[in-house]
Structure 1
Amino acid sequence: MRASCLALLALVLAGCPKQVERVAGTDDSRIDAASAQLEELRLKEQSEELPCPDRCTVAQQTCTVAEELCGLVEAHPDRTDLPPRCVQAREQCAQANAGCTRCQNG
Protein backbone atom coordinates (compact mmCIF):
# COMPACT_ATOMS: atom_id res chain seq x y z
CA MET A 1 0.00 0.00 0.00
CA ARG A 2 2.75 2.43 0.96
CA ALA A 3 4.70 1.63 -2.18
CA SER A 4 1.66 2.24 -4.38
CA CYS A 5 1.05 5.61 -2.68
CA LEU A 6 4.67 6.61 -3.28
CA ALA A 7 4.42 5.50 -6.90
CA LEU A 8 1.23 7.49 -7.37
CA LEU A 9 2.81 10.55 -5.75
CA ALA A 10 5.85 10.22 -8.02
CA LEU A 11 3.61 10.04 -11.09
CA VAL A 12 1.62 13.07 -10.03
CA LEU A 13 4.76 15.11 -9.38
CA ALA A 14 6.41 14.00 -12.61
CA GLY A 15 3.28 14.74 -14.61
CA CYS A 16 2.94 18.31 -13.38
CA PRO A 17 5.94 20.25 -14.57
CA LYS A 18 6.24 23.59 -12.89
CA GLN A 19 6.42 26.74 -14.94
CA VAL A 20 9.60 28.37 -13.69
CA GLU A 21 10.76 31.51 -15.40
CA ARG A 22 14.51 31.70 -15.53
CA VAL A 23 15.42 35.32 -15.40
CA ALA A 24 19.10 34.65 -15.97
CA GLY A 25 18.29 32.31 -18.84
CA THR A 26 16.02 34.89 -20.41
CA ASP A 27 18.65 37.57 -19.99
CA ASP A 28 21.28 35.22 -21.41
CA SER A 29 19.09 34.78 -24.49
CA ARG A 30 18.62 38.53 -24.81
CA ILE A 31 22.35 39.12 -24.40
CA ASP A 32 23.07 36.51 -27.08
CA ALA A 33 20.50 38.11 -29.38
CA ALA A 34 22.04 41.56 -28.85
CA SER A 35 25.50 40.14 -29.53
CA ALA A 36 24.23 38.59 -32.75
CA GLN A 37 22.70 41.93 -33.77
CA LEU A 38 25.99 43.67 -33.06
CA GLU A 39 27.81 41.17 -35.26
CA GLU A 40 25.38 41.81 -38.12
CA LEU A 41 25.80 45.57 -37.69
CA ARG A 42 29.60 45.21 -37.60
CA LEU A 43 29.55 43.36 -40.89
CA LYS A 44 27.26 46.01 -42.41
CA GLU A 45 29.47 48.82 -41.13
CA GLN A 46 32.55 47.23 -42.66
CA SER A 47 31.01 47.20 -46.14
CA GLU A 48 32.97 49.45 -48.49
CA GLU A 49 29.83 50.25 -50.53
CA LEU A 50 27.83 51.56 -47.56
CA PRO A 51 26.80 55.19 -48.24
CA CYS A 52 27.57 57.74 -45.54
CA PRO A 53 23.97 58.24 -44.34
CA ASP A 54 23.57 54.47 -44.00
CA ARG A 55 26.91 54.21 -42.21
CA CYS A 56 25.70 56.77 -39.68
CA THR A 57 22.38 54.95 -39.27
CA VAL A 58 24.27 51.71 -38.61
CA ALA A 59 26.39 53.57 -36.03
CA GLN A 60 23.26 54.77 -34.22
CA GLN A 61 21.77 51.28 -34.28
CA THR A 62 25.05 49.82 -33.02
CA CYS A 63 25.15 52.19 -30.06
CA THR A 64 21.50 51.53 -29.21
CA VAL A 65 22.03 47.75 -29.19
CA ALA A 66 25.30 48.15 -27.27
CA GLU A 67 23.55 50.09 -24.51
CA GLU A 68 20.74 47.53 -24.36
CA LEU A 69 23.33 44.79 -23.96
CA CYS A 70 25.18 46.75 -21.27
CA GLY A 71 21.91 47.27 -19.39
CA LEU A 72 21.37 43.53 -19.35
CA VAL A 73 24.95 42.97 -18.23
CA GLU A 74 24.61 45.49 -15.41
CA ALA A 75 21.56 43.60 -14.14
CA HIS A 76 23.90 40.70 -13.27
CA PRO A 77 26.84 42.20 -11.33
CA ASP A 78 27.74 38.75 -9.98
CA ARG A 79 28.53 37.44 -13.50
CA THR A 80 32.18 38.06 -14.30
CA ASP A 81 31.79 36.64 -17.82
CA LEU A 82 29.47 39.45 -18.96
CA PRO A 83 31.32 42.78 -18.46
CA PRO A 84 33.80 42.09 -21.30
CA ARG A 85 30.83 41.76 -23.66
CA CYS A 86 29.64 45.22 -22.63
CA VAL A 87 33.12 46.67 -23.10
CA GLN A 88 33.36 45.11 -26.55
CA ALA A 89 29.92 46.44 -27.49
CA ARG A 90 30.83 49.97 -26.41
CA GLU A 91 34.09 49.77 -28.35
CA GLN A 92 32.13 48.71 -31.42
CA CYS A 93 29.82 51.71 -30.89
CA ALA A 94 32.82 54.05 -30.73
CA GLN A 95 34.33 52.54 -33.89
CA ALA A 96 31.03 52.81 -35.75
CA ASN A 97 30.69 56.46 -34.68
CA ALA A 98 34.24 57.13 -35.84
CA GLY A 99 33.39 55.62 -39.24
CA CYS A 100 30.32 57.86 -39.48
CA THR A 101 32.39 60.94 -38.57
CA ARG A 102 35.10 60.05 -41.13
CA CYS A 103 32.62 59.71 -43.95
CA GLN A 104 30.86 62.95 -43.00
CA ASN A 105 34.15 64.86 -42.93
CA GLY A 106 35.18 63.55 -46.32
Structure 2
Amino acid sequence: MRAPCLALLALVLAGCPKQVERVAGSDDSQIDSATARLEELRVKEQSESLSCSERCAVARQTCEVGEELCGRVEANPDRTDLPPRCVQAREQCAQANGGCTRCQSGG
Protein backbone atom coordinates (compact mmCIF):
# COMPACT_ATOMS: atom_id res chain seq x y z
CA MET A 1 0.00 0.00 0.00
CA ARG A 2 2.88 2.33 0.75
CA ALA A 3 4.52 1.94 -2.69
CA PRO A 4 1.47 3.22 -4.64
CA CYS A 5 1.29 6.25 -2.34
CA LEU A 6 4.96 7.00 -2.92
CA ALA A 7 4.50 6.57 -6.66
CA LEU A 8 1.55 8.96 -6.62
CA LEU A 9 3.55 11.47 -4.57
CA ALA A 10 6.42 11.22 -7.07
CA LEU A 11 4.04 11.90 -9.94
CA VAL A 12 2.55 14.90 -8.17
CA LEU A 13 5.98 16.32 -7.39
CA ALA A 14 7.16 15.69 -10.93
CA GLY A 15 4.26 17.81 -12.14
CA CYS A 16 5.24 20.82 -10.00
CA PRO A 17 7.59 22.48 -12.52
CA LYS A 18 4.67 22.82 -14.91
CA GLN A 19 2.82 24.72 -12.18
CA VAL A 20 5.64 27.30 -12.05
CA GLU A 21 4.99 28.27 -15.66
CA ARG A 22 1.33 28.85 -14.90
CA VAL A 23 2.23 30.95 -11.87
CA ALA A 24 4.39 33.20 -14.07
CA GLY A 25 1.43 33.73 -16.38
CA SER A 26 -0.75 34.36 -13.38
CA ASP A 27 1.81 36.89 -12.10
CA ASP A 28 1.68 38.65 -15.47
CA SER A 29 -2.10 38.93 -15.34
CA GLN A 30 -2.01 40.09 -11.72
CA ILE A 31 0.69 42.67 -12.51
CA ASP A 32 -1.40 43.91 -15.44
CA SER A 33 -4.48 44.05 -13.22
CA ALA A 34 -2.64 46.01 -10.52
CA THR A 35 -1.26 48.39 -13.17
CA ALA A 36 -4.78 48.99 -14.47
CA ARG A 37 -6.09 49.61 -10.94
CA LEU A 38 -3.26 52.09 -10.33
CA GLU A 39 -4.23 53.96 -13.48
CA GLU A 40 -7.87 54.11 -12.33
CA LEU A 41 -6.73 55.41 -8.93
CA ARG A 42 -4.46 58.00 -10.58
CA VAL A 43 -7.38 59.35 -12.58
CA LYS A 44 -9.61 59.33 -9.49
CA GLU A 45 -6.95 61.12 -7.43
CA GLN A 46 -6.81 63.94 -9.98
CA SER A 47 -10.49 64.71 -9.46
CA GLU A 48 -10.98 68.15 -7.93
CA SER A 49 -14.24 67.04 -6.31
CA LEU A 50 -12.70 64.57 -3.84
CA SER A 51 -13.14 65.33 -0.17
CA CYS A 52 -10.05 65.16 2.01
CA SER A 53 -11.08 61.79 3.44
CA GLU A 54 -11.73 60.43 -0.07
CA ARG A 55 -8.35 61.73 -1.24
CA CYS A 56 -6.63 59.98 1.68
CA ALA A 57 -8.60 56.77 1.02
CA VAL A 58 -7.43 56.85 -2.62
CA ALA A 59 -3.86 57.35 -1.37
CA ARG A 60 -4.14 54.29 0.92
CA GLN A 61 -5.58 52.20 -1.91
CA THR A 62 -2.86 53.40 -4.27
CA CYS A 63 -0.12 52.38 -1.85
CA GLU A 64 -1.74 49.00 -1.16
CA VAL A 65 -2.07 48.19 -4.85
CA GLY A 66 1.45 49.49 -5.49
CA GLU A 67 2.94 47.22 -2.84
CA GLU A 68 0.94 44.29 -4.21
CA LEU A 69 2.41 45.01 -7.63
CA CYS A 70 5.93 45.35 -6.20
CA GLY A 71 5.55 42.00 -4.44
CA ARG A 72 4.74 40.38 -7.77
CA VAL A 73 7.68 42.14 -9.39
CA GLU A 74 10.04 40.96 -6.64
CA ALA A 75 8.77 37.41 -7.12
CA ASN A 76 10.11 37.57 -10.70
CA PRO A 77 13.72 38.78 -10.29
CA ASP A 78 14.68 37.49 -13.74
CA ARG A 79 12.25 39.91 -15.44
CA THR A 80 14.11 43.15 -16.16
CA ASP A 81 10.97 44.71 -17.67
CA LEU A 82 9.11 44.73 -14.36
CA PRO A 83 11.16 46.82 -11.84
CA PRO A 84 10.24 50.12 -13.55
CA ARG A 85 6.58 49.32 -12.88
CA CYS A 86 7.34 48.98 -9.18
CA VAL A 87 9.27 52.26 -9.15
CA GLN A 88 6.37 53.99 -10.89
CA ALA A 89 3.87 52.50 -8.44
CA ARG A 90 5.89 53.70 -5.45
CA GLU A 91 6.19 57.17 -6.97
CA GLN A 92 2.42 57.24 -7.49
CA CYS A 93 1.96 56.22 -3.84
CA ALA A 94 4.23 59.06 -2.70
CA GLN A 95 2.35 61.58 -4.85
CA ALA A 96 -1.02 60.36 -3.59
CA ASN A 97 0.19 60.57 0.02
CA GLY A 98 1.44 64.08 -0.70
CA GLY A 99 -2.03 65.06 -1.91
CA CYS A 100 -3.57 63.61 1.23
CA THR A 101 -1.11 65.47 3.46
CA ARG A 102 -1.67 68.77 1.64
CA CYS A 103 -5.41 68.32 1.99
CA GLN A 104 -5.16 67.57 5.71
CA SER A 105 -2.92 70.58 6.32
CA GLY A 106 -5.35 72.84 4.46
CA GLY A 107 -3.01 73.54 1.54
TM-score by length of 1: 0.80
How far residue 63 of structure 1 moved from its aligned partner, in angstroms, is 0.2
* Corresponding position: 1:43 with 2:52: no
* Corresponding position: 1:66 with 2:66: yes
Residue in 2 that maps onto 1:76: 76
RMSD in angstroms over aligned alpha carbons?
1.7
How far residue 23 of structure 1 moved from its aligned partner, in angstroms, is 1.2
Render the CA deviation track for 1:21-79: whole Å, top value 9, x for unaligned. Answer: 61111000000000000000000000011110000000000000000000000000000
Residue in 2 that maps onto 1:55: 55
For residues 20 and 79 of structure 2, what CA distance do their matches in structure 1 show? 21
Gaps of 5+ in 1: 1-18
Residue in 2 that maps onto 1:15: none
Equivalent runs, 1:1-106 vs 2, <5 Å: 22-106=22-106
The one-letter code of the counterpart of 2:81 is: D
TM-score by length of 2: 0.79
Residue in 2 that maps onto 1:10: none
Gaps of 5+ in 2: 1-18
Q: SS of the residue aligned with 1:22?
A: helix
For residues 90 and 105 of structure 1, what CA distance do their matches in structure 2 show? 22
Q: Which runs of 4+ in 1 moved over 4 A?
A: none
The one-letter code of the counterpart of 1:68 is: E
Q: Which has the higher helix share?
A: 2
